[in-house]
Structure 1
Amino acid sequence: MAALDIEQVRKEFGRERVLKDVSLSIESGQFLILVGPSGCGKSTLMNAIAGLEPVTSGRILIDGEDVTHRTPAERDIAMVFQSYALYPSMTVRQNISFGLEMRKVPKAEREQAVERVADLLQISHLLKRKPAQLSGGQRQRVAMGRALAREPKVYLFDEPLSNLDAKLRVDMRTEIKKLHQRLGTTIVYVTHDQVEAMTLADKIAVMRDGHILQLGSPDEVYNNPVDMFVAGFMGSPSMNFIKATLEGGKGACQLRIATPEEADLVLPWPSARGADELAERAGQTVILGLRPEHFSEEDERLTSQAEGTLLTACVSVVEPTGADILLRLPLGQGEVTARVGPKCAITAGERLALRVDMDRAVLFDADSEHRIA
């Protein structure tokens, strides 16, 4: 295990700057996930950490040692690729032990390492098979086993589950989580799947256009996004964004949302959440961010209702998912997604009363898209 520090790393391909002064640090034993849309630079950053791509400027330190100009073999890292990268002519046992053999590890130690990781990954019964005889999930376990046999300072995973079907991807995600909990290894993991990021990571780095927009725990990134891009990228379904006008004075702010109907919708902003500071923006257009779970169904049978502001709207689309129901309904000049319980008896075209939990809402500047509350 080792701490990883990336200091002002820049990577240029000709005139194109792919990484733009990226800096981040993770402690020994932490699980860091790099997420972002295609082309944001996350795989390039991973390759730079591995030594597969030389950086234009900046430093990479593993366990306090500057490895910026060292070869991949000198960095003491192990990498699991999206394509598995197994040798088709070798058995599972040979694939796992090959790296150790190249490092001239004694045969007895190699055999011991193979048995250890095979038992850990539950592939002992596959050791005599070749990759062509394995399923996608089994191949991925072998690729992981080859990395684990090395016991390096840092493990790098480059979208290792993207070639698997949905159910197997969930199963393998659980196995990777268990593996990290057992071994306490330092892991850097690249994915475009924000569900993987939320379930696996100790820290998430959200990237866009070669920059790290936010680095924090899954809870911080999800509940306290720094801007609209992070808020919209993390979460499924993504956060709803509603244009509103900020009104009021100190201690009593509200958001006025223009609607196609006669009366505007007015949502009070909680006084405990910086209402005094927001008063300086009175009259400005802002963007209200509400996640689907910030809506809850109003139940007239209950004597005491959940806290929040009540709104009613005509439901346009009902999407049952089993565990819950997603509703599409108009709010402001567009539509929003609300997540309600599976017992909500509603059909498209009916009106529904919902509570809005403004204590969990967030506000963004309409021009810069940065969070303001």
Structure 2
Amino acid sequence: MSALEIQHVCKDFGSTQVLKDVSLAIDSGEFLILVGPSGCGKSTLMNAIAGLEPVTSGEIHIGGEEITWRTPAERDIAMVFQSYALYPSMTVRQNIAFGLEMRKVPKAEREAAVERVADLLQISNLLERKPSQLSGGQRQRVAMGRALAREPQIYLFDEPLSNLDAKLRVEMRTEIKKLHQRLGTTIVYVTHDQIEAMTLADCIAVMRDGRILQLGSPDEIYNDPVDIFVAGFMGSPSMNFIAATLEGEAGDYRLRVATPGADDLVLPWPISRETDALADQVGRSLVLGLRPEHFTEEDARLGERAEGTPLAATVSVAEPTGADILLRLPLGEGEITARVDPHCRVTPGERIALRVDMRRAVLFDAASERRLA
């Protein structure tokens, strides 16, 4: 039985359709992340699950029961908001216990629940403080503690880390991951940050314009994107998209990349990656997708043992990040980004020899933007 099942949900605001036939299901204990750009409908979907927004059509089930038209209080969910939503006049202890008190939970049970979540989140020393005396990270822990005290079927997190600075976001992300691993709770989490999505999720739903474009594991979303949007949205730096023309025949397909003012670049398409769909694409303009890490610096010491297709280009910009160096290189009619070893010694204007791993490349239809291979 699914912990959460959404069936053909639509949501209209006047003449604007914000959610368009959304369906998904997750099992108990799964961590689902709804990710997408601002305005894609992910927060509206979260509010529909919580009962804060009535749906126009479709059904929502929690624990096998239809709850589409139930009030938020009747849904057995707990929500952690972006703005913390703490009562400023209450202490941390009172904030955590408030929801339990409203449900008439006996005082002894309330106090035990407060102590339990305070110990779990390492905020026992903050219980008598007011929210104004806490840092942003501490306030977020209190908001999480208030949700955890409830022990509902599903926890909903609506961009809970967006108000924190970069370092604290990373720390809180780790804490949420540990919390999920320890408790095995079912979580639905909204974010526009694809790094949060990749690091936290068991399952990711990539949304755009009110629809779910792809639902899958982080590995599936990253390595097997269904279209150009998903491929470009997931990954930092994002995937390189290169205009190319398919040539050849089965067993000997090649991609020709036109390069203004220079010879065309011809890249062989791996036989292991051929699909039946490619036969109809010969002579057509396609889009080749290569991630920055699909490029490696050519090492002369390796000689013929070097793997990948050779590629030479002039460096436009070199951006050291510490762990690696990002190179901007002209390729075809635009520029690409290559991620190379931090010990790579190269400066702008220099020519560099690279290898590109075509076994990890993806190919898209230029018109529909759907993946072909």
Name the aligned partner's letter for residue 117 of structure 1.
V
Contact 2:2/2:25 (<8 A) preserved = no
Match of 2:146 in 1: 146
Is 1:244 aligned to 2:244, yes or no? yes
The unaligned stretches of length 5 or more in structure 2 are none
SS of 1:272's equivalent? helix
Q: Distance in 2 between matches of 1:350 and 1:221?
A: 35
Q: Tell me how far apart the structure 2 counterparts of residues 78 and 170 of structure 1 sit (CA, whole Å).
A: 23
- Counterpart of 2:113 in structure 1 is 113
CA displacement at 1:249 relative to structure 2: 1.0
- Residue of structure 1 equivalent to 2:208: 208
Kept in 2, the 8 Å contact 1:251–1:276? The answer is: no
- SS, match of residue 344 in structure 1: coil
For residues 72 and 218 of structure 1, the distance between their equivalents in structure 2, rounded to whole angstroms, comes to: 30
Question: Aligned to 2:273, what secondary structure does the other structure show?
Answer: coil
Q: Distance in 1 between matches of 2:71 and 2:276?
A: 55
Q: Structure 1 stretch 272-281 or stretch 157-166: which is displaced more?
A: 272-281
| Cα contact 1:156–1:189 (8 A) shared by 2 | yes
Secondary structure of the residue aligned to 2:339 is strand
- Give the alignment of 1:307-346 within 5 angstroms: 307-346=307-346
Moved over 4 A (4+): none
Q: Deviations over 1:81-139 (max 9, x none)?
A: 00000000000000000000000000000000000000000000000000000000000
For 1:197, the equivalent position in structure 2 comes to 197
CA shift in 2, pair 1:275/1:190, >3 Å = closer
Displacement of 1:301 after TM fit? 1.6
| Aligned counterpart, 1:230 | 230
Q: TM-score, normalised by structure 1?
A: 0.99
Amino acid in the other structure paired with 1:55: V
1:23 and 1:275, CA in 2 relative to 1: closer, same or farther beyond 3 A?
closer
Q: Does structure 2 retain, via aligned residues, the 8 Å contact 1:40–1:208?
A: yes
Give per-residue Cα distances to partners, 1:333-354, cap 9 Å, x unaligned: 0000000011001111100000
Measured after TM superposition, the shift of residue 2 of structure 1 is 6.5
What amino acid is the match of 1:332?
Answer: G
Cα distance in 2, alignment partners of residues 95 and 4 from structure 1: 28
Contact 2:34 2:205 in 1 (8 A): yes
Matches for 1:301-312 after TM superposition, within 5 Å: 301-312=301-312
Distance in 2, Cα, partners of 1:305 & 1:137: 50
* Structure 1 residue identity aligned to 2:361: A
Moved more, 270-279 or 19-28: 270-279
1:69-88 pair list within 5 angstroms: 69-88=69-88
Q: Distance in 1 between matches of 2:280 and 2:10?
A: 39
Distance in 2, matches of 1:63 and 1:360, equals 39
* Distance in structure 1 (CA, Å) of the matches to 2:276 and 2:9: 40
Tell me the residue number matched to 1:53: 53
SS in structure 1 at match of 2:301? coil
Q: How many residues are treated as equivalent by the alignment?
A: 373
1:257 aligns with 2:257: yes
Question: In 2, Cα distance between the equivalents of 1:114 and 1:10?
Answer: 38
- TM-aligned CA deviation for residue 306 of structure 1: 3.4
Q: Please, which runs of 5 or more residues in structure 1 have no aligned partner? A: none
Where 2:327 maps in the other structure, the secondary structure is: strand
Give, in angstroms, the shift of residue 149 of structure 1: 0.2
| 1:38-75 Cα shifts (integer Å, max 9, x gaps) | 00000000000000000000000001100000000000
Q: Contact 2:243–2:288 (CA<8 Å) still a contact in 1?
A: yes
Cα deviation, 1:244-264, whole Å, max 9, x if unaligned, reads: 000001211000000023310
Q: Indicate the SS of the match to 2:272.
A: coil
Checking the alignment, whether the CA contact within 8 Å between 1:153 and 1:186 is kept in structure 2 is: yes
Separation (CA, whole Å) in 1 of partners of 2:243 and 2:72:
49
State the match for 1:4 in structure 2.
4
Aligned to 2:161: 161
Residues 1:219 and 1:27: Cα distance change in structure 2 (over 3 Å): same
Q: C-alpha distance in 2, partners of 1:262/1:314? A: 12
The letter of the residue matching 1:198 is M
Query: Structure 1: which amino acid aligns with 2:40?
Result: C
Output the CA distance in 2 between the equivalents of 1:306 and 1:103: 66
CA contact (8 A) 1:79 1:155 kept: yes
Deviation of 1:276 (Å): 5.2
- Give 1:96's aligned residue: 96
Report the 3-state secondary structure (helix = DSSP H, G, I; strand = E; otherwise coil) of the residue aligned with 2:173. Answer: helix
Per-residue CA deviations over 1:196-218 (Å, capped at 9, x if unaligned) read 00000000000000000000000
Same amino acid, percent of matched pairs: 80
Contact 2:4 2:26 in 1 (8 A): yes
